[in-house]
């Protein structure tokens, strides 16, 4: 089943003998990237796992009506984005900032990844910087930097123009850098 295109998976889901199995294959294909995306937005594994499940349940409910205009990949990211936004708005909290503020950086060694002995510290600072961003900008940064998504696809996921997304990403990068410097 591995290596099937989205069209083949959708066709098996709609017309095949075993739609459950076809859907399971869709989940298998997209669970890791979607989990990574959600995890970077909500931080906790339990929250990311719950959201991931909700994303696929929503996808199942809407898949019959899905026309494939935007592509399964961007459509799933779009559902995940909406779920994450709802979650973040409901929670209205920034757990990472509250829980992981104990580490400090050595002066003069910020942002030079190759100079870092403990790269995880820098990654944690970046994570904190991402947490400090507005919700939409956080998503733009995560989709581009972590999910390596093309602007064209991001435009479909976030329903925003490519130009606006590029500007938003550039601002996000600068803000995160400033945050990391500030916390040094």
Partner 1 sequence: MKKELPEDIQRELSELGSSLPHFKEDPFSDVPEDFFEAFPTRVVKQIKLQDQKKPVRSFVIGLRHWAAMAASLLLLISLGLGFLLTERFSHSEEALADESLLADNWFHWLADIDPAQIYEPFGEGELSPEEILFNAADWEETDPFLSDYLAEVLAYYHLDPDTYFLGESIH
State the number of binding residues for partner 1 (CB under 8 A).
38
Considering only residues 5, 11, 14, 20, which one is a binding residue for partner 1 as defined by CB under 8 A? 20
Residues 143-172 that bind partner 1 (CB under 8 A): 144-146, 148, 170
| Torsion angle (degrees, nearest 10) of CA 80, 32, 53, 69 | 40
Considering only residues 62, 97, 119, 178, which one is a binding residue for partner 1 as defined by CB under 8 A? 119
Buried b (16+ CB within 10 A) or exposed e, 146-156: bbebebebbbb
Considering only residues 6, 8, 36, 71, which one is a binding residue for partner 1 as defined by CB under 8 A? 36
Characterise 7 by phi-psi region: left (phi > 0), alpha (psi -120 to 50), beta (else). alpha
Q: How far apart are CA 79 and CA 19, in angstroms?
A: 20
Instruction: Report, in Å, the least distance between residue 134 CB and partner 1.
Output: 18
Considering only residues 4, 88, 111, 155, which one is a binding residue for partner 1 as defined by CB under 8 A? 111
Considering only residues 126, 140, 154, 165, which one is a binding residue for partner 1 as defined by CB under 8 A? 126
Instruction: Report, in Å, the least distance between residue 6 CB and partner 1.
Output: 16
Using CB under 8 A as the binding rule, whether residue 23 contacts partner 1 is answered as: yes
CA distances from 8 to 4, 5, 28, 72, 126 (A): 6, 5, 14, 11, 39
Q: Which of 54, 63, 46, 44 is nearest to 81 (CA)?
A: 54
Q: Which residues are near partner 1 by CB under 8 A?
A: 20, 23-25, 27-28, 31-32, 35-36, 39-40, 45, 49, 52-53, 56-57, 60, 110-113, 116, 119-120, 122-123, 126, 144-146, 148, 170, 173-174, 176-177
């Amino acid at each position: 089943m591995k290596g099937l295109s989205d069209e083949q998976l959708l066709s098996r889901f709609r017309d095949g003998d075993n739609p459950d199995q076809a859907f399971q294959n869709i989940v298998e294909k997209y669970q890791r990237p979607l989990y990574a995306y959600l995890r970077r937005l909500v931080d906790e594994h339990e929250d990311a796992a719950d959201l991931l499940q909700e994303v696929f349940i929503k996808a199942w409910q809407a898949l019959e009506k899905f026309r494939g205009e935007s592509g399964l990949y961007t459509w799933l990211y779009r559902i995940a984005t909406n779920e994450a936004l709802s979650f973040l708005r409901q929670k209205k909290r920034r757990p990472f900032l509250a829980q992981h503020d104990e580490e400090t950086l050595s002066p003069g060694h910020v942002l030079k990844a190759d100079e870092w002995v403990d790269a995880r510290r820098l990654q944690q600072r970046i994570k904190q910087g991402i947490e400090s961003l507005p919700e939409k900008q956080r998503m733009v940064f995560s989709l581009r930097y972590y999910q390596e998504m093309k602007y064209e696809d991001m435009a479909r996921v976030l329903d925003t123009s490519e130009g606006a997304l590029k500007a938003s990403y550039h601002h996000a990068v600068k803000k995160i850098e400033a945050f990391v410097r500030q916390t040094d």
